[in-house]
Amino acid sequence: MSKVAIIMGSTSDLPVMQDAIDILKGFDIEVEVDIVSAHRTPEKLFDFSKNAHERGIKVIVAGAGGAAHLPGMVASLSPLPVIGVPVKSSNSIDGWDSVLSILQMPGGVPVATVALNGAKNAGILAAQIIGAADKCVLDKIIAYKEGLKMKVEEGAKSVRSGQ
């Protein structure tokens, strides 16, 4: 079974990152969750990033606020795809510092970046990456997207009939 790691800089990021955890579990994808601080536990960050693939991890979702160095540092060390989630934190500049820290990576060190507090989309993207090589997950993603389409169509029908 494919596994996705969801890491964050501190426990204060968990309420945002929970959306990624929930969506991945909904696709029956195994999730490994941990706190890995780029600034307070750099040795752990190095070990985690260099060895995640040896534990069966296929994708890393990394969320951080403020300076938000975690996703970029993980991407610099890991051979795995990294999805960065900028988290709006109490000490941030309305979240822009996090967004720009994750978005503006140098050539050769890509981080797929989602919207501010966009952990749900990070989870969906991680599932789609897994689904590219796992038909069971792919089928669940197809069904999920069909469900989104049906909700829109139901809403449109409701709006049209209410006029």
Residue 62 φ then ψ, to 5°: -120, 120
Strand, coil or helix: 58: strand
Strand, coil or helix: 82: strand
Q: Is 13 annotated as a binding residue?
A: yes
Q: Is 94 annotated as a binding residue?
A: no
Q: Is 19 annotated as a binding residue?
A: no
Distance, CA of 49 to CA of 32 (rounded, Å): 13
Strand, coil or helix: 13: helix
* Cα 51-33-45 angle, rounded to 5 deg: 40
Q: Which residues line the annotated binding site for substrate?
A: 10, 13, 40
**Which positions make up the binding site?**
10, 13, 40
